[in-house]
Amino acid sequence: MVPMDVDIEQNVAVIMNILSEISLTSDVDTIVCLENLNTALANVHPKQLQPLLSSIRFEKVFNCLNTDDDEQTKLTIRILDKLYNCCTPEVIGKQHVEDIINGLVHPKSEVILLCLQQIFRVCRAADDEKAALELDSGKFLHLILMLCNLLTNDLSLASLAIQILSEFISSCPLTLDEPRVRTALQCAIDHDSCSRFRVYELAICVASKSEKHLTKVAFLIDQLMSDLRTTNDVLIMMNVLECLSDLIATTQGLNYLENNNVTQFLLAQLCSPDPNMALAIPGVITFFGNLGVHHPANFVANYPQVLPFLVDLVTQQDSPAMAMVIDTVSVVSRSLQGKQLILSLEDGYANRLCSFFHQVIRGYESNLRVRAMLAVASLVTPDRDSLSISNELQSFVVAIDSRLVPTLLAISRQPFVELRCATHRIYSALAAWDWGLRLMASAAGFQEYLLDRSTEKELEGKNSKYEVVRSIVDAPSSAGGFTARFLVHLQNYLKEGPLYVQVEHSIATEDL
């Protein structure tokens, strides 16, 4: 236990006394007691109270919520929040769970939010602290039904209820075999469109855990897919696509959607769109973009016709859409087939994509610039048998920027290590190609930059630049791009290691 001085001991004594004696005999006395308790709690560190409160119930304080007095309610919530946070999740699950569950039907949303926050604490700590809600199966089912009912409440409560239900159902999938739970979820779906998509959000959270979990919520996923095919409401369609885009990030989600012909349905919408659903097309493209990011091999093999539509997104000047295009190109281009798919774009789309990368690398927000440069590095990094696409790859890189290395050199001298490291990745990738080595060797100032260790101060930058040197030295045809003398300097750099610091010797003199 943390040692306590006299003042702290007095405050602790006040806290323990009020917790044992607080009553509702007089509204005035109750407010005074609560104010004194709140003051005492503010003067004691939670860790000093934790062992003392581990066996004490707070039901008398909790009962102070049974009032129409807003001031008393707010004060009681503040006090309970402090008291609960002095307890470990394990203690919450054992000592206070019944009070907290009773609070879920309180007429004031602030009280419900307090209770949900504590239940969520126990859920999240269950693996680490052996915390659990000590409830029999009947009370646990009752809690699940209460949480389902909260899905029709305001957003802050519904969002937390979704997270808790996701934890409960993920750890106990059999919960969804209970007819009353299914009925409660169906009632929420039928309540209104907001509640409907909250249930779908819950289903996606659970389905993302594993194939077994997806099976348990398949009846909800099926309704989601039915909404996709039957709705004429663009807003509903866009919300459905957002849910499906999250689901497709997992292997089991992709398999389920493919087996139920959802991907084929959306592909048909993309290639022969219904004029009434034109506004939903960006959502369809985003869906396939997520598919490309998370399942690049599947994207290249089964949905190559989507890439031109994806490139169309770059004209929207929307950061999330632009990031998705960049990330899709980055992961798809890791394989030879993916590189071939990108390089085989028709001239109009290829030019648009190259122009997009050129603009982003030169002047957008840092996050997009880094991602764009890493995508170019991914495209340029050779794959097995990629010598066959050397000429096409060179043309594509030159189309992005005819002065790519000078452009990168300017970025390499900026005071942002993440940008500098991204340029290093491209240099390392270029070193695998004869034409790449020539681009670097012919760029004014590149050789001086590479030998100048003072350009990098952080460890990440030093290691990243060292890999550039290694890539050039190890390149089988590096002699064709650089002079033998320069290569000797690089070999010395390599021997000295990434953290080498040149020591300058000086001679002290004194006037005689």
| Position 146 confidence tier, pLDDT thresholds 50, 70, 90 | very high
497 Rama sector, left if φ>0, alpha if ψ -120 to 50, beta otherwise: left
Q: Which of 62-66, 136-140, 214-218, 261-265 is the least confident region? A: 136-140
* Predicted structure pTM score: 0.76
Task: Give the separation between CA 86 and CA 90, rounded to whole angstroms.
Answer: 12
Do 350 and 323 form a contact (C-beta atoms < 8 A)?
A: no
> What's residue 26's pLDDT?
53
Q: Which of 265-274, 336-345, 462-471 is the least confident region? A: 265-274
Task: Give the separation between CA 259 and CA 256, rounded to whole angstroms.
Answer: 5
Task: Give the separation between CA 296 and CA 191, rounded to whole angstroms.
Answer: 39
| Position 383 confidence tier, pLDDT thresholds 50, 70, 90 | confident
With a CB cutoff of 8 Å and minimum separation 6, the contacts of 166 are 202, 205, 206
Q: What is the CA radius of gyration of the chain?
A: 31
| Position 438 confidence tier, pLDDT thresholds 50, 70, 90 | very high
> What's residue 314's pLDDT?
75
> What's residue 506's pLDDT?
43
Q: Does residue 264 have a pLDDT over 80?
A: yes
Q: What is the pLDDT of residues 447-496, one digit of tens each?
A: 999 999 989 989 999 999 999 999 999 887 655 678 889 999 999 999 98
Q: Length of the chain, please?
A: 512
Largest CA distance in the chain: 101
Two tokens at 179? 């007819």
Query: Any alpha helices (H) in 172-261, and if so which ranges?
Result: 179-191, 193-207, 211-216, 218-230, 234-247, 251-259
Do 324 and 313 form a contact (C-beta atoms < 8 A)?
A: yes
Q: What angle do CA 111, 116, 121 make, to 5 degrees?
A: 130
Q: Does residue 127 have a pLDDT over 80?
A: no
Q: Does residue 128 have a pLDDT over 60?
A: no
Two tokens at 266? 């959306």
> What's residue 444's pLDDT?
92
Q: How many helices (H) and strands (E) does the chain have?
A: 31, 0
> What's residue 316's pLDDT?
65
Region 153-178 average pLDDT? 87
Do 450 and 409 form a contact (C-beta atoms < 8 A)?
A: no
> What's residue 505's pLDDT?
43
> What's residue 395's pLDDT?
94
Two tokens at 40? 């005492």
With a CB cutoff of 8 Å and minimum separation 6, the contacts of 482 are 437, 441, 447, 472, 490
CA distances from 282 to 31, 198, 277, 357, 494 (A): 56, 22, 10, 20, 48
Q: What is the pLDDT of residues 399-426, one digit of tens each?
A: 999 999 999 999 999 989 999 999 999 9
